[in-house]
Amino acid sequence: MKKVKVKVCVCTECVMNGAMDIIESIEGLKKLKVQLRLNSQFQVETDNCLTGEKHHGRSPLVMVEGELLEKCTSETVMSKILSHKA
């Protein structure tokens, strides 16, 4: 089964800007297995600070399959993840 790797930055700024809610929405995708015809697994990891530097207004940051997404919302992350599903 294909694995989609997701890393969510949980630094102070990203958490304030909704990182935990993004994780929640990714977890929520698993409940839509049937509707989405999911054949992939999502592997969600948290990261102390993606990029290792100050985000300068780019938070929250999420990395999906190696691609860094800036100013993320639940909508953009969910659709990016689904674009990688098998």
Partner 1 sequence: MRGIYTPVTNLRRQVFAEIAKLAYEGGDYSRIEEIPYKIIPGEVPTYRDSVFKERAIVGERLRLAIGLPLRRADEHAPVSKGVNESAVDKRVYEPPLVNVISFACNACEEKSYRVTDNCQGCLAHPCVSVCPVKAVKLVNGKSTIDQEKCLKCGRCKEICPYNAIVKNERPCAAACGVDAIESDHLGRATINYEKCVSCGQCLVSCPFGAIADKSQIFQLIHAIKTGEEVIAEVAPAFVGQFGPLVTPQRLKEALKQLGFSDVYEVAIGADIGAVEEAHHYAHNVATGEQAFLATSCCPSWSVMAKTQFPELASCVSDALTPMVATARIIKKEHPNARVVFIGPCASKKLEASRRTVRSDVDFVITFEELMGMFVAKEIDFGDMEGEEMVDATAAGRGYAVAGGVADAIVESIHELYPDLQVQVDRAEGLRNCKKMLAIAKAGKRNGFLLEGMACPGGCIAGAGTLQPINKAVAAVKGFQQDAPLKEAVESPRIKQMQDE
CB 9 within 8 A of CB 22: no
Applying CB under 8 A, the span of 15-23, 36-44, 62-70, 76-84 interacting with partner 1 comes to 15-23
Of 4, 6, 7, 10, the one binding partner 1 (CB under 8 A) is: 10
Of 74, 80, 82, 85, the one binding partner 1 (CB under 8 A) is: 74
Plot region of 47 (φ>0 → left; ψ -120 to 50 → alpha; else → beta): beta
The minimum distance between CB 18 and partner 1, in angstroms, equals 4
